[in-house]
Amino acid sequence: MLWPFLLALGIHAAGGILALLFFRSNRAALAIGTVACVAASLIGVVAAGHLLLVGGAAEMQASWHVPVGELRVGVDALSAFFLLCIHLVSGLAAVYGAGYLGGHAHERTLAPVVFFFALLVAAMTGVALARDGVLFLVAWEVMSLAGYFLVTFEHEREDVRRAGMVYLIASHIGVVFLFILFTIFARHGGDFSFASLASAGAPSSSLANACFLLALVGFGTKAGFWLLHTWLPEAHPAAPSHVSATMSGVMIKMGIYGLLRALTFLGTPPVWWGILLIAVGALSGVLGILHALAQHDLKRLLAYSSVENVGIVVLGIGLGLLGQSTANPAMAFLGYAGAVLHTLNHGLFKGLLFQSAGSVLFATGTKEIDALGGLSREMPVTALTFLVASIAISGLPPLNGFISEWLIYMAAFRGGTDLHGAAAVATIAVIPVLALIGGLATACFVRAYGISFLGTSRTDATKAAHDPPLTMRVPMVLAAALCVAIGLWPDAALRLVERPTQVLVGVATVPDPLLGSLIAITRVSLVLLGLAALLALLRRGLLRRREVAVGSTWGCGYEVPTARMQYTAASFAEPILGPFEATLHRRADEEFPTAYFPREAHHQLLPGDLVGERIIVPVTRRALAALGRLRIVQHGRVQMYLVYILVTVVVVLLWQLSGGSR
Amino acid sequence: MTADHADVVLLVLVMIDLFVVATSRIAAAIRASALQGFSLALLPFALASDGTPEHLAHAALIAAGVLLLKAVLIPWLLLRALRKVQIRREVEPFVSLHVSLLLGALLIGVAFWASAQLPAPRAGTPALLVPVALATLLIGFFIIVSRKKAITQVVGYLLMENGIFVFGMSLAREMPFVVELGILLDVLVGIFVFGIVIHHISEAFDHMDTHTLSELRD
Amino acid sequence: MIEALLHLAVLAVFPPLLVGVIGKTKAWFAGRKGPPLLQPYFDVWKLLQKGAVYSRTTTWIFRAGPIVSLAALLCAGLLVPLSSTSAPLAFGGDVIAFAYLLGLARFFTMAAALDTGSSFEGMGASREAAFSALAEPALLLALAIVSVPAGTFSFWEVFASLPWATWGAAHPEILVAVVVIFLVLLAENSRVPVDDPATHLELTMIHEVMVLDHGGPDLAYILYGSAVKLFLFASILVHLLVPGPTAAGLSGTLALCGGTIAIAVLVGVVESSMARLRLLRVPQLLIGASVVAAVGLVALFVRGQP
Amino acid sequence: MALLLLVLVPALGGLLALAIKSVRIDLGVLLAVAVLHLATAVGLWFVPSPPLGSLLALDVAGHLFLTITSIVFLVVALYAIPYVLHATHDPQAAPHLFVPCLLWFLAAMTLVTVSQHLAVMWAAIEATTLASAPLIYFYRKKSALEATWKYLLICSVGIALALLGTFFLGIAASGAGDGAPPLVLDALANAAPHMTRPWLKVAFIMALIGYGTKMGLAPMHTWLPDAHSQAPAPVSALLSGALLNCAFLGVLRFYQVVLASGDAAFARTLLLVFGFLSIGLAAVFMVRQRDYKRLFAYSSVENMGILAVGVGLGGAATFGAMLHAVNHSLCKAALFLLAGNVLRVYGTTTAGDVQGVLRRLPLTGVLLTVAFLAIGGAPPFGPFMSELVIFQSAIRGSEVWLGILFIALLAIAFLGMAGVLLPMLQGEGAADQLPVREPRLSVVTPLCLCVAVFVLGVFVPAPLSEVLQSAAVLLGGGHG
């Protein structure tokens, strides 16, 4: 069952190259790229879905004339699941992109962005299919580079170039660790292939620890764990929205995939791995969502919330690890299942959110939340999809976000009841952390949705706004529908994650009570909807006979409220961020009213990134300065150059001959 | 002639080195290098003395080549170049001549010490060959790095070449004449190209001291 | 079947009474006669009769707000055992569903508030968001304290399995849970010391200010919903404090209601005996609650769970 | 006989070109010789020619480098046609010596690859210096003159040390008794076990430092950025793509002898030290480099370091080094040719003054991106594979930390290069800067090189890998 995936890969690549050949006509390039991507994605989704529901795995190896042996590809449930995410999200994004890029058609040739998008998807497919280190690294690097060229799509803008550079540096540093990791794997397994690695058995504990840490950093950089996340809030806003959707929806998830894949080779994990991952997840989740709350730029906000969601996934993985290391398959199953399902869910609603934000940008030309407002009138569809995604990403029933978080809660609870000592405390700690994340996420997305879509418009940027063209609306609505579907039928969703989780844990089947609970959740959701419908009908019935007046908002006595009197995003976030001020790095740009007749005054909080501005920027600056000082060596005086040579000769001679080699 | 004669020649070489270090006139330095070339030409005979006739013939050929190039052609080239560029004829060292003289002596000492560290090449090679070769080499190097004017640096390069050539002498009989000739020709062409470049430099910068030649840097 | 109907009946009818009880208690402390005990019912009924006035700026979200939040709260009410040992929609892990249904209700209340475009309602929404985000961990921690020893994450099983005879001795942590949940109750239901429902200065309000613009049936839904919320928290407390009230059918149900009334009185006492905290202090209170709960949980592990 | 032709044809061609005054005919000669040379060099793979006396013979390593040189030369010759005819951005150029010197340069390099006698090889390498010096002074500018002067002086002095090393080897051999062998490679290899160690050591050290100067190993590399940045594009391409390899071959010859002597440990150590020094120093200078041609020059230093490291590590790494020599020659030639295109349009080598190449010179821009990614070691291009081979054999061997240091330095170099090049490629040029038509040849030639590099990245033909393999074996390495 490998060929459909290879076929999809081929179609992606071919579509990209064809699009490149038709670079003279934007419409042609766009059409070719989109059609190819959609076709390939359909194949991929169907094949992956089939494999996930029916089961099975395949592997094949092509002897290949490269110095480091032959290449192997294969697919198992884990790969299949991520292939499902990849093709689902990027297929939708491709359709959306066709409409979105149409807006740029007049100003630049689109063939490159189409090509690199196809290349990105193809490379991600390659990563998921790779069964040996070399192919994995190649696909990984191609993926990162394609991502770079997509981020710098509008490279005439200074900030975009800078974002691209940050992205490039981050991903390149990350890949260094992966090189080391996979070469150590190769050393352990005898060659680069995963098969021989698996047959070589689990490495010694010290080696396993080293590999684990390498994987954590290497893949964590891509996935955007806290401390390694700083490229995300730069790159995602810079990229065109369908690209941000794909990058945030699936590309960063390849980091998760890599981590999971690496873990399958490392044998039974020691307890501290799980605890460490839980710590990382908690940090990423809480700080990620707090930074998201502090943002004024819609896409930056979404980028930070990706950090948060990756944190949630990592919490799940950490619980899974703890379950494995304490031989508690039920807990491991719950943790991994939650993590894996949340990757899919996040792919769906984060993709949807980026697409909706893109539509807003498309319609109003701004991403500033405080410049928007009242959009739900001009853009009803976008408002609806954004609302659905917001509820989902806040983890609220009856949508899909709730399901995955619920699974992780259950895992944490299982651990709390079954484990002892530090492990138990760590697992139970997940519960309040998740609760806090959930509460903050709700606040964050009520703010994002409410300020930009509700109330009245704050600037005239929104005056001419309107819903995007059909090509952009359809994928948005589809994604929203999927969010609802997973939320309403979680047991079906569990079927999807069952086999991948088994790859990780090795449990035979789903624990029965779990299925029961999931079906019960369906019941709860349906009851919820039923009650809502009932109450709505009742209300309508009551109001039918009464007169319903329309007036202006109650201003507590003040009769002429203006749009600028509305609560802004900044003021909304303030009481929430207050207790956490220390973790943020915000600079206030303010001018207080002075004298008796103050002319003007303003106050603005510029959100910064603690890690970025306190650690990374100073360190790099120092390093560069140090390097700069070294340049004096090349001073241009030929005599001194010759002296270098003489000195070298003397030093080397003394060194080599002093060794008593006479 | 015998190996002792060789030692005499070698001593002459060292003295010429010291003179080149000490002199303040470029022309004098060049003439000294010519003299050194001449005495180099004697060396093959001294070394081939115990050898068979064809060794002698070989030595004669080499000597002829050396004489022609190092004693006549190259000095002539250099003097011509010197005449072409109307410049002050002083060498303009970075360090004063007395100091450089002392340093030269020091370098000779280093050369002798170093050659003492190495095992003797083989039976029959003159005792002074290795130290003198090294000394000439080092002094040539010293002149290159301690002089401002391009042409003086060429002289230094010439001295280095001579020093290395002395080593070559000790292998003379293993070396096919073609190869020797190749090496000599290289030196000749090298000096020729140097001359051209110096000419261009003097035209471009209307003087040829090289510390203005340090615009290219990072 | 009977139990289910009884459950629905209790959920549908009983909650507003608690609001009346609180009112009475406060009035008694103030030495006033106070509104009649059934006043909340009258209010709801009157409001259901009225028409509605909507602001120009509002959209369907504003209208959906009260509906969805009431629906969510009632749905949550179907997870907590009221009439029997179990509950109509109970399942393994319904504790989380309960918390998140409350979250859903909050989401829509806040969205509706923001929909009016009024700065006051925005302010209320942001405060609500802030405080509930801090209350959430405390609530779940407290619930974890009681459910970890029970080895289940479902209300009815937890309540059924609490070692009643000597719970104080066996699990003093439950005391912590009770205290914390009571604090959360005050916060979630916007009572003193977190919020003052009786205030008339919008600037100091939290929950009330969010619903300024609602009127007619919408407001009725909201009032009723908040009563339900209060009732649910109260009944959870009762379940923790009193040995399995609902085990014994109808009488048990009555016992539960009695217990909730007692809680309501307690709330009234608190309200009349202490003043409202400064807004800036509220987060400290809630974080404190979480910390206390965490301590309780750690104590549980240190003592080793069964 | 063919060997002699390989050397003589270019040399005589040079004389011919010198005699003819017409530039066009000169270029014709250049092209003809280049084609002929490549044909012979390739042909010799199929019909090996007998060694010519004891001086000239073609072993696999020499033949490999000869072929690389020949290929690069042909490409450069093609590129040179539009470059010399109408594209020189600087009026005061001196084309009349251009073609002859190029041809002599080729002759000298060929001689390096085919000579078995170390002294002959030395003479040839010195000859390359002399032949290429006038090429660097193609543009009659003070800076070019300075670069030429430094190139001449530093390389001559360095090479002089190499000659000394050669003689030392002779002395060491003469210590081996039974009438010292001549300075022919196999004879030396046979005598190696009996050589007097100190002389042997000193000989290798001298050769390493001497030829290392020419090859651009730090800290003797100082001439390289100046020369490469001042020379016209085709010459820079040749210097980096062909000449450095030849100097490397010089080192390798001595390494062969040391290997034969049995204790090569010290040589490996030295190669590693100089290799890492070069990579590190180059990386430092590539970060925030102001001049893009200097940037490429430093990248050459880095890559020479990689070659040294590869050979020093031995085992599979040697194979990787050979492969990398091929990759680097192709990439770097392409990069310098493309730099020539950029320079022609923008008229400056200051990276800061160049922006929006992708907009103004779309083809050059794209190719430059590709070549940059390739030389930076990004898949799916050749250098990625060769560097991966070297890296993994380091990790697999006992030198785990060396491997980690290696890849870390490569990452720095890549990022440094990216930091300079990407801002040039991207961005809006000034408003008036419309896309420019580029001469077909000056784009097609780098294109071919890029394609070749790409092919090597995804697929190394069996015959080639056999050749590399046997070359590696010759240098005491081979598939680990």
Contact D371, D446 (CB under 8 A): yes
- How far is Cα C296 from Cα C282, in angstroms, rounded to an integer? 21
Higher pLDDT, D50 or A212: A212
Q: Is the pLDDT reported for residue A289 higher than 80?
A: yes
Provide, rounded to the nearest whole percent, the portion of chain C with pLDDT above 70: 94
Dihedral, CA atoms, D60, D61, D67, D68, nearest 10 degrees?
Answer: 150
* pLDDT of D261 over the 60 cut: yes
Task: Give the per-residue pLDDT at D453.
Answer: 96
CB contact under 8 A, A517 and C91: yes
The proportion of chain C whose per-residue pLDDT surpasses 90, expressed as a percent, equals 58
Q: Between these two residues, A44 and A63, which has the higher pLDDT value?
A: A44
Give pLDDT, residue A546: 87
Q: What is the predicted pLDDT for the residue at C306?
A: 46
- Higher-pLDDT residue of B213 and D305 is D305
Q: Is the pLDDT of residue D281 over 70?
A: yes
* Cross-chain CB nearest to B145 (options A634, A636, A639): A639
Question: By residue range, what is the domain housing residue C91?
Answer: 2-303
Query: How do residues C91-104 score in pLDDT, each as one tens digit?
Result: 999 999 999 999 99
D457 contacts D463 by C-beta, under 8 angstroms: no
User: Which residues does D403 contact at the CB level (< 8 Å), separation at least 6?
Assistant: A180, A183, D391, D392, D394, D395
Q: What is the mean pLDDT of residues A306-325?
A: 96
Report the 3 state secondary structure along A105-153: CCCCCCHHHHHHHHHHHHHHHHHHHECEHHHHHHHHHHHHHHHHHHHHH
Residue A85 near residue A108 (C-beta atoms within 8 A)? no
Q: Is residue B217 part of a domain?
A: no
Q: pLDDT tens for residues A132-164?
A: 899 999 999 999 999 999 999 988 889 999 999
Chain A residues with beta carbon closer than 8 angstroms to that of D288: 624, 627-628
Nearest residue to A161 via CA among A143, A178, A175, A148: A148
What pLDDT score was predicted for residue B210? Answer: 64
Helix (H) or strand (E) segment spanning residue A72 = strand A69-75
What is the model's pLDDT at position A590?
A: 83
Mean pLDDT across D52-67? 91
**Cβ of A661 and D206 within 8 Å?**
no
* Beta carbons of A638 and B216 less than 8 Å apart: no
Q: How far apart are CA A74 and CA A80, in angstroms?
A: 10
In a domain, B218, yes or no: no
Is residue D89 pLDDT above 80, yes or no? no
Highest averaged pLDDT of the listed ranges A577-591, C144-158, D162-176, D262-276? D262-276
Confidence category of residue C166, pLDDT binned at 50, 70, 90:
very low
Confidence category of residue A104, pLDDT binned at 50, 70, 90: confident
Beta strands at C52-55 and A585-591: parallel, antiparallel or unpaired: unpaired
pLDDT given at position B87: 64
The distance in angstroms from the start CA to the end CA of chain C is 35
Which residue in A187, A627, A641 is closest to D395 by CB distance? A187
A106-115, A260-269, A627-636, D163-172, range with greatest mean pLDDT: A260-269
Take residue C265 and report the two structure tokens written for it: 């009185």
Q: How confident is the model at residue B54 (pLDDT cuts 50, 70, 90)?
A: confident
At B207, the pLDDT band (50, 70, 90 cuts) reads low
**Inside any domain, residue B111:** yes
Inter-chain residue contact B217 with A634, CB threshold 8 Å: yes
Task: Give the mutation candidate from D149, D284, D433, D453 for the A interface (greatest A CB count, under 10 A).
Answer: D284
Lowest average pLDDT, out of A110-124, B193-207, C68-82, C173-187, goes to: B193-207
% of chain D surpassing 70 pLDDT: 95
Could you identify the residue written with the tokens 């079947």? C1
Give contacts of A451 with chain C, Cβ < 8 Å: 114
Give the length of chain B: 218
- pLDDT tens for each residue of D319-335: 999 999 999 999 999 99
Two structure tokens written together for D336: 């310098």
φ, ψ at A537 (rounded to 5°): -60, -45
Distances (CA, A) of C12 to A533, C16, C85, C231: 17, 9, 19, 11
Arithmetic mean of pLDDT, C133-154: 90
The phi and psi torsions of C216 (rounded to 5 degrees) equal 60, -145
Q: What is the pLDDT averaged over residues D277-304?
A: 95
Chain B residue with minimum CA distance to D172: B121
In this structure, the number of other CB atoms found within 10 A of the CB of residue D468 comes to 28
| Whether the Cβ atoms of residue D114 and residue D57 lie closer than 8 Å to each other | yes
Q: How far is B145 from chain D (nearest CA, A)?
A: 11
Question: Which residues of chain B are within 8 Å of residue D149 when distances are taken between CB atoms?
Answer: 150, 197, 201, 210, 213
**pLDDT score of C196 more than 90:** no
Query: What's the 3-state SS for chain D?
Result: CHHHHHHHHHHHHHHHHHHCCCHHHHHHHHHHHHHHHHHHHHHHHHCCCCCECCCECCCHHHHHHHHHHHHHHHHHHHHHHHHHHHHCCCCCECHHHHHHHHHHHHHHHHHHHHECEHHHHHHHHHHHHHHHHHHHCCECCHHHHHHHHHHHHHHHHHHHHHHHHHHHHHHHHHCCCCCCCCCEHHHHHHHHHHCCHHHHHHHHHHHHHHHHHHHCCCCCCCHHHHHHHHCCHHHHHHHHHHHHHHHHHHHHHHHHHHHHHCCCHHHHHHHHHHHHHHHHHHHHHHCCCCEHHHHHHHHHHHHHHHHHHHHHHCEHHHHHHHHHHHHHHHHHHHHHHHHHHHHHHHCCCEHHHCCCHHHHCHHHHHHHHHHHHHHCCCCCCHHHHHHHHHHHHHHHCCCHHHHHHHHHHHHHHHHHHHHHHHHHHCCCCCCCCCCCCCCHHHHHHHHHHHHHHHHHHHCCCHHHHHHHHHHHHHCCECCC
Mean pLDDT, residues A349-370 taken together: 94
pTM: 0.94
Pick the residue of C74, C89, C100, C282 with the most A CBs within 10 A to test the interface with A by mutation.
C100
**Going by beta carbons, is chain A in contact with chain C, meaning 3 or more pairs sit under 8 Å apart?**
yes
CA distance D396 to D320: 14
3 state SS of A73: strand
Amino acid D431: pLDDT = 56
Q: What is the mean pLDDT of chain A?
A: 91
Helix pair angle (D316-346, D362-375), 10° resolution: 150
Q: What is the mean pLDDT of residues D48-74?
A: 92
A250 is written with which tokens? 């699936």
Packing angle of the helix pair D142-174, D118-136 (nearest 10 deg)? 180
Q: How far apart are the C-alpha atoms of B79 and B195, rounded to whole Å?
A: 10
Asked if residues A12 and A42 have their Cβ atoms less than 8 Å apart, the reply is no
Chains in contact with chain C (at least 3 beta-carbon pairs closer than 8 A): A
pLDDT tens digits, one per residue of D101-135:
999 999 999 999 999 999 999 999 999 999 999 99
pLDDT reading at A662 higher than 50: no
Residues C125 and A575: their CA atoms lie apart, in Å, by 11
* Core vs surface per residue D106-131: b (16+ CB within 10 A) or e: bbbbbbbbbbbbbbbbbbbbbbbbbb
What band does A661 get if pLDDT is binned at 50, 70 and 90? Answer: very low
pLDDT tens digit sequence for A509-547: 677 788 889 999 999 999 999 999 999 999 999 998 888
Count of the separate structural domains present in chain B: 1
Averaged pLDDT, B14-38: 91
Question: What integer pLDDT is reported at residue B157 of this predicted model?
Answer: 93
Report which of residues D50 and A220 the model is more confident about: A220
Predicted confidence band of residue B28 (pLDDT cuts 50, 70, 90): very high
Q: What percent of chain B has pLDDT over 90?
A: 28
Mean pLDDT of C242-258: 79
pLDDT digits (tens, 9 = 90+) for D409-457: 999 999 999 999 999 999 876 556 677 788 889 999 999 999 999 999 9
Chain C CB contacts of A406 under 8 Å are 93, 96-97, 100
Q: Chain C contact for A539, CB < 8 A?
A: yes
Q: What is the mean pLDDT of chain C?
A: 89
Q: Which H helix or E strand runs over A420?
A: none
Judge: A646–B141 Cβ closer than 8 Å, yes or no. Answer: yes
Check residue D139 and give its pLDDT: 86
Q: Is the pLDDT reported for residue D176 higher than 70?
A: no
Is there contact between A and B if contact means ≥3 C-beta pairs under 8 Å? Answer: yes
* Cα gap A484→A479, rounded to integer Å: 9
